Amino acid sequence: MRYPKLRELKEAIRAIFKGPYTTSFPKKPHEPYERFRGRPYFHEEECIGCAACAQVCPTGAIKFSDQLVNNRAIRKFTIHWDVCIFCGQCQANCLTEKGIVLSREFDFATTEKREDLKQEMEKELLLCECCGDLIVPPDQYSWVAQKLGPLLFSNASLVLYYLRTLKLASQEKYPAKEEMEFVRSDRMKVLCPRCRREAVLKS
């Protein structure tokens, strides 16, 4: 016959005086621990739209798409809570560490449409001033400029955008070129990586 260990007896005696370890949920609200991983939320003011969270999500719960809507370039994010496994990879890999944060919410069962279990967010995108292709959100450009400091002057597009935000450069936005014949002045525009490479090599 196997006798209980002292540790097991200690736990049993403690439970007699302190009561059960389980909570009375759903009769009473349950307060999770501080480090509990619950429903993730986008925080639009802190998010720079880099899409790192979507790229590391193991279940594909976070989706993003770049699109033109009414001549406005946007990057649309959608997080599906019904697919999320609350692993925390999105928060761990967020560049700002505040763009997407896991809350302590866990009780969101519903009898309504499953499609309603989601959060959507939109970020504006910059357009290449030569080919008109989508580049990155302005918030991401600003974040990179702040991180690089003086080193941002190694990238003409980044410098030009940064100076425009400070109102130290012309705010003129050039229409996309019909014929991709680059001249030296094209290097001083906000360009996508492909046009930047072509402008440097051919001008």
**To 10 degrees, what angle do helices 138-148 and 156-165 make?**
100
pLDDT for residue 14: 83
Classify residue 104 as exposed, middle or buried by CB count within 10 Å of its CB (0-12, 13-18, 19+).
Answer: middle
User: What number is the average pLDDT over the span 144-152?
Assistant: 90
Through-space distance between the first and last CA atoms of the chain, rounded to whole angstroms = 88
pTM for the complete prediction?
0.78
pLDDT at res. 80: 94
Domains of the chain: 35-124 (3.30.70.3270), 138-202 (no CATH)
- Cβ contact 100:46 at 8 Å: no
